[in-house]
């Protein structure tokens, strides 16, 4: 029984249709937010959210940019956090993953277990909170946002898998030429595992960019407010953004662009990064698949 | 220079090892930063788990607080919220683990079926967008969908004369909404994982099966799915270990921490998170943390043992 061409075509069309619908569903909310941010406030309130802007209007963006102080501050905190966090964590995790990938390293089993245990058992949120805030006294410092999130054991094991794919003979050859382990790591292992390292780098950058937990829990003031936490505060209380009097005067008379400026803020906060990550997607989709190969 | 007979061998060997062999101390030195961080932020809190047996006060610290035996656990099991928390956490997690895997595999099959590189790239990128967004951004989306006056759902159904639904105060819709959003966010990642694995399958198997007269469904059932077994089981073990965890961003932000929705949207993690924020009921929270860790650990070990029995290759430990 050979499949008829007709059935094949039907099947393919069906697949295309499913994928098209699902992909559309994944993108629609984004379009809605962008449209809403360009909408006219009174029309938006009248007609509600939709796929297309309700009357093209830039007031919301003007509004956000009259007093961009907080947004700007949050942006800087988040960018610095992401840069420091992603670079630091990738370096630290890669350096830990390399010895684990070496089959003839003496304490490999011990350190494997050392890291693995933390994946199985944790002290829980309350204990972590107490350790970070009381024992280590990191409350209200920038480091409380960075340090607890630097090491992700899962990613160490992914990196270990990538490094194991580098042929051992290369390492041996370098050793015979008298290379130190550091030299081997930076000059041989890292260049040959670029895809894997970029993958982990992007994943870590993503998790630091989307950080809100730290700003919410470990901060008593707004000095180190991340972008995500700022957005959360705006959504739960839009008046916070509108408390500035200059901003109120600028939109005198007309309706305060509460909803639209909220959405404009969302676009400004989330938009740029989505494009950056989309750019990296090529690398890390390859890396993720590679890492899931048995190791 | 005198060379004593009999020692030359080992000496040469030692020299060789120092010069060419691997250097254990250099490798160990590379661990230091990661090990210090893990000790501080993973191992240190493990000792903090004893606060489950203490009447914890912030000003007294972990060691200064009084012991109170199983008092916290007694309170926890007697409280009304425990049952709800248990039901919500387990119910959502089990449903989402299953649906997530099925959805991912189905989408991966669709991608494999269309066999058009350009289209696959477009679909994959589109499906990955939600993965990049934090739950806070997603909560803006859900706000635009479910807001009472302006939400898209309400303006849509009111066109047909259906009465508007106050989503943010009606619990009955939220199990569905939360499930949809959870699947929506994880779909891109799951699909990628399964699709990537499918690409590694030897194509000649399919050709042979087709020649032997297998239809599409039979090929999927007998070739594709068995090849996915490893990745499905390994992720399953991990998922089961985290069955008492929940993505509190999802529950907390999407429902806007709305008290009216706690009955369907409160899980162990959101409960702990809330008590931490308000610094109330820390005793209960620490008891929950303790249970979560201990039960989670035993579940991983049990699942692993079961999987090991079933197929040795797929076990994690």
**Within 10 A of B166 (CB to CB), how many other CB atoms are there?**
13
Structure tokens at B287: 């008891």
Instruction: Quote the pLDDT of residue A2.
Output: 57
B297 vs B74: CA distance, rounded Å: 22
Q: What is the chain B residue with the closest CA to A28?
A: B141
Test A181 with B30 for CB contact under 8 angstroms: yes
Test B107 with A19 for CB contact under 8 angstroms: yes
How distant, in Å, are the alpha carbons of A28, B183, B282 from that of B85? 32, 21, 16
CB-closest option in B34, B58, B301 to A151 = B34
B225 vs B238: CA distance, rounded Å: 20
pLDDT tens, B178-234? 999 999 998 988 888 888 888 888 889 888 988 888 888 888 898 889 888 888 888
CB-closest option in A26, A118, A175 to B38 = A118
Check whether A93 has a pLDDT greater than 80. Answer: yes
Question: Per-residue pLDDT averaged across A44-58, rounded?
Answer: 75
Instruction: Quote the pLDDT of residue B104.
Output: 92
Coil, strand or helix at B55: strand
Check whether A251 has a pLDDT greater than 70. Answer: no
What 8-state DSSP symbol labels residue B158?
A: H
Q: What are phi and psi of B310, to 5 degrees?
A: -75, -45
Predicted interface score ipTM higher than 0.85: no
A88 vs B38: CA distance, rounded Å: 14
A272 vs B276: CA distance, rounded Å: 33
On whether any CB of chain A is under 8 Å from the CB of B119, the answer is yes
Share of chain A above pLDDT 90, in %: 12
A23 vs A14: CA distance, rounded Å: 14
Question: What is the pTM for the complete model shown?
Answer: 0.84
Closest CA to B145 of B266, B238, B254, B232: B254
pLDDT tens, B242-256? 888 888 888 888 888
B90 vs B98: CA distance, rounded Å: 12
User: Helices marked H in chain B — which ranges?
Assistant: 8-20, 24-38, 44-47, 61-64, 71-78, 81-114, 117-132, 135-146, 152-159, 174-199, 203-211, 216-219, 225-241, 248-254, 262-265, 268-278, 282-310
A135 vs B45: CA distance, rounded Å: 10
CB A36 within 8 A of CB A55: no
Compute chain B's Rg from CA coordinates: 27
Chain A residues with CB inside 8 Å of B46's CB? 121-123, 127
Residue A43 banded pLDDT, cuts 50, 70, 90? confident
Share of chain A above pLDDT 70, in %: 90
Angle between helices B81-114 and B174-199 (to 10 degrees): 40
Sorted by sequence, the CB contacts under 8 Å of residue A111 that are 6+ apart come out as A96, A99, A100, B31, B35
Instruction: Quote the pLDDT of residue A3.
Output: 65
State the best of A44, A47, A124 to mutate against chain B, taking most chain B CBs within 10 Å: A124
Chain B residues with CB inside 8 Å of A120's CB? 241, 296-297, 300-301
CB B14 within 8 A of CB A90: no
CA distance A249 to chain B (A): 26
CB-closest option in B30, B49, B231 to A127 = B49
Q: Any idea which residue has 């201990």 for tokens? A: B294
Coil, strand or helix at B67: strand
Q: Any idea which residue has 């190791």 for tokens? A: A295
Q: What are phi and psi of B311, to 5 degrees?
A: -160, 110
Structure tokens at B92: 């959502």
Q: What is the chain B residue with the closest CA to A179?
A: B20
B47 vs B5: CA distance, rounded Å: 56
What 8-state DSSP symbol labels residue B54?
A: E
Share of chain B above pLDDT 70, in %: 91
CA distance B6 to chain A (A): 26
CB A231 within 8 A of CB A83: no
Check whether A295 has a pLDDT greater than 70. Answer: no
Closest CA to B52 of B26, B77, B29: B77
pLDDT tens, A118-177? 888 888 888 888 888 888 888 888 888 889 889 988 889 888 888 988 888 888 888 888
CA distance B82 to chain A (A): 17
pLDDT tens, A197-235? 988 998 899 899 988 888 888 888 878 888 888 888 887
Q: What is the chain B residue with the closest CA to A285?
A: B192
Check whether A281 has a pLDDT greater than 50. Answer: yes
Angle between helices A153-164 and A258-291 (to 10 degrees): 40
């Amino acid at each position: 029984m050979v499949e008829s061409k007709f059935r094949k075509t039907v099947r393919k069309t069906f697949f295309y249709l499913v994928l098209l619908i699902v992909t559309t569903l994944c993108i629609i909310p984004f379009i809605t937010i962008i449209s809403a941010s360009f909408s006219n406030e009174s029309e938006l309130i009248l007609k509600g959210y939709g796929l297309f802007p309700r009357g093209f209007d830039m007031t919301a963006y003007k509004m956000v940019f009259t007093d961009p102080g907080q947004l700007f501050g949050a942006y800087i905190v988040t960018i610095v956090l992401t840069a420091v966090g992603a670079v630091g964590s990738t370096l630290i995790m890669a350096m830990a993953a390399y010895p684990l990938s070496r089959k003839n390293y003496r304490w490999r089993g011990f350190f494997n277990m050392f890291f693995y245990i933390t994946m199985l058992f944790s002290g829980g949120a309350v204990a972590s909170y107490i350790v970070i805030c009381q024992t280590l006294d990191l409350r209200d410092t920038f480091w409380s946002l960075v340090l607890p999130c630097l090491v992700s054991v899962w990613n160490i094991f992914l990196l270990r898998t990538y490094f194991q794919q580098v042929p051992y003979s290369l390492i041996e050859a370098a050793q015979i030429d008298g290379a130190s382990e550091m030299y081997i790591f930076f000059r041989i292992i890292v260049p040959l595992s670029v895809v894997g390292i970029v993958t982990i780098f992007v994943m870590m950058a993503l998790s630091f960019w989307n950080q809100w937990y730290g700003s919410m829990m470990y901060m008593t003031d707004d000095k180190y407010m991340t972008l995500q936490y700022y957005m959360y505060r705006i959504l739960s209380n839009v008046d916070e953004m509108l408390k500035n009097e200059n901003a109120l005067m600028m939109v005198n008379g007309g309706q305060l662009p509460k909803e639209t400026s909220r959405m404009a803020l969302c676009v400004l906060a989330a938009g740029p990064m989505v494009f950056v990550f989309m750019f990296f997607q090529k690398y890390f989709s390859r890396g993720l698949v590679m890492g899931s190969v048995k190791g | 220079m005198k060379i004593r007979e009999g020692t030359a061998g080992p000496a040469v060997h030692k020299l060789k090892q120092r010069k060419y062999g691997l250097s254990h101390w250099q490798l160990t030195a590379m661990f230091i930063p990661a090990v210090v961080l893990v000790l501080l932020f993973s191992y240190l809190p493990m000792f903090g788990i004893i606060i489950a047996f203490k009447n914890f006060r912030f000003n007294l610290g972990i060691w200064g607080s009084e012991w109170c035996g199983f008092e916290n656990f007694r309170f926890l099991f007697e409280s009304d919220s425990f049952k709800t928390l248990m039901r919500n956490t387990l119910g959502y997690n089990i449903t989402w683990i299953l649906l997530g895997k099925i959805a991912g595999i189905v989408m991966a099959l669709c991608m494999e079926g269309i066999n058009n590189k350009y289209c696959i790239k477009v679909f994959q990128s589109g499906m990955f967008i939600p993965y990049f967004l934090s739950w806070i951004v997603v909560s803006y989306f859900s706000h635009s969908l479910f807001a009472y006056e302006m939400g898209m759902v309400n303006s849509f159904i009111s066109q047909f004369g259906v009465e508007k639904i106050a989503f943010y105060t009606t619990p009955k819709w939220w199990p569905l909404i939360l499930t949809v959003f959870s699947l929506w966010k994880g779909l891109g990642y799951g699909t990628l994982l399964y699709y990537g694995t499918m690409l590694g399958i030897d194509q000649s198997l399919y050709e042979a099966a087709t020649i032997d007269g297998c239809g599409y469904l039979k090929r999927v059932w007998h070739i594709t799915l068995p090849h996915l077994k490893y990745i499905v089981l390994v992720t399953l073990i991990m998922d089961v270990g985290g069955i008492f965890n929940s993505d509190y961003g999802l529950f907390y932000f999407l429902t806007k921490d709305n008290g009216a929705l706690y009955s369907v949207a409160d899980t162990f993690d959101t409960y702990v998170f809330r008590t931490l924020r308000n610094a109330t009921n820390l005793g209960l929270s620490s008891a929950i943390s303790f249970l979560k860790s201990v039960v989670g650990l035993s579940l991983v070990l049990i699942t692993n043992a079961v999987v090991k029995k079933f197929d040795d290759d797929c076990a994690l430990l």
